A and B are shown apart, each in its own frame.
Chain A
Amino acid sequence: MSGRPFVYPPEQAQAREKMRRVSWISVALLLLAGVVLAFTVGSSQAMKTAWLSDVLTAIPPASLIFALRYELREPSERYPFGYLRSLSVAFLVTAAVLTVVGLYLLYDSGMKLVHGERPPIGTVVFFGRQIWAGWTMIGALAFSLAVGFTLGKLKQPLAEKLHSKPLMAEARMNRAEWMSEGAAILGIVLVGFGQWWGDAAAAAFISLEIIRDGWDNIRQVVADLMDESPTRLGEHELEGLPARGRAEVEKLPWVEDAGVRMREQGHAVAGVVFVVPRADGLGAAALTERLAETRDRVRALDWRLHDVVVAPVSALERDDPPRPAAD
């Protein structure tokens, strides 16, 4: 129902608070890992790429924290539908940054491979002992790997509880970190064995991972912009929620026919229900009462349903959502 801010049920409200905390922890840990990597980065391309990918993965949780501040604001004159879509804005930022930086890094490491630029990795003095810098790089990468793994583990259950696409995307991104860091470690070890191409090859692999993350996010944002029907969390498949909504409405004795359209707005779902009332000579007051009751029935189907408008029409323009062809 438009005009009121979205209210999370208690369980989800708790998960949302947790999500905010996890996002802060993410930003802090990823930046810490970024600092650790920065100290050891040297002239290794794989290290540079791993470092950038670490710092980049701190952007999504940061923009999520920002979006959460706006999400539940009262609708205003300028934004009469509320601020729920601020989560999509967070998504857009993430998608754009990841893609651009990923492409740049791929180009950079590709050129190093083509020109046969060999990475020099010398020694560092670590607690008074002179050791090969490759070892400290591997240590820093292992730390960063542990950070990504832990964050992914923390975020996934929360994302499921909140049906949060941005958080799910983050959890996947963090889990994919281990592959990047692993590749960087392998690259450094290859350099250690005199295989100079290992470094740039690992960097190219990591940048492909970054681009893939960016691409996944872009697809998500575009789908949001296009008012895609709700999809299953982390999947491409459509959810059955609109069909359930229609079934619910069609059960009402006074309804001849019904159509339901839904779209996701951040964590919430908004929708329009078209009903064709049976011709039984209802007065306007009785009709609006029935419409309000219908709206409440539909909203009771799922906690995410928020902005549901029920519109009486004389005939349906279209079959919404389309019934399976077999029927």
Chain B
Amino acid sequence: MGADVHRGSAGRRSRPEADLVALVAFALVAACNLPRDAAGTLDRVRGGTMRVGFAVDTPWVADSGGEAGGVEGRIVNGLARALGARIEWTHGHESELLNALHDRELDLVVGGLTADSPWRAKVAFTRPYHVDSGVVLRSPRAKARQEKHVLALPPGENGWLVHVERFLRDERALLASALEKKTGTAR
């Protein structure tokens, strides 16, 4: 209803400024699918194969017969399902997996990683999907010891990074149920 009133007053002949505004708006819309990957990971993974490395760190990552289980295992499965991707699992140690990730031989690594890991300089960590503040006993410095749980992606694959971070935020229900099962198994 407010729009009608507005249209009445703004319905004049379009001026160069208006054209410029339209151009900027168009550029912004075109820019909406930014950022893109440097090596096209997202396009390759979508409907294709997702190469995932996992290092066991229960309850975050559990070994369930050559595949990752646990909280992060469930997240990865949910992500693959949403993308229609098949998962190619690689089991290994954190350092070898993260080095392979840095060289883009893997698309994603899970292993109970936290945001303060020194690996953050070599690979791309997602925003934390879960902040665990119950790890240490209550103390004045408890806040500094919060564990921010993250997933690791290859650096420079920013379209892929943004996609995974959006997934983590949009699928909070999936995360909540995964985290609930974790506390269930831990007790």
Contact = CB atoms under 8 A, between A and B. Distances in A.
Interface in A119-162: 119-123, 125, 130, 132, 134
A194 B124 contact: no
A122 B155 contact: no
B36 interface: yes
Most buried by A among B36, B153, B156: B156
B131 to A, nearest CB: 14
A252 B154 CA distance: 82
Of the four ranges (under 10, 10 to 19, 20 to 34, 35 or more), the interface on chain A belongs to 10 to 19
B99 to A, nearest CB: 14
Contacts of B158: 120-122, 132, 134, 191-192, 194
Size category of the binding interface on chain B: 20 to 34
B34 A130 contact: no
Contact of B155 (A119, A123, A132, A192): A119
Nearest to B34: A192
Interface stretch (B70-78, B83-91, B159-167): B159-167
A26 to B, nearest CB: 31
Contacts of B153: 120
Interface in A188-229: 189, 191-196
A122 B38 contact: no
A191 B34 CA distance: 9
A117 interface: yes
B34 A193 contact: yes
A122 B34 contact: no
Nearest to A122: B161
Interface of A: 43, 117-123, 125, 130, 132, 134, 189, 191-196
Interface of B: 31, 34-40, 123-127, 153-159, 161-162, 165-166, 169
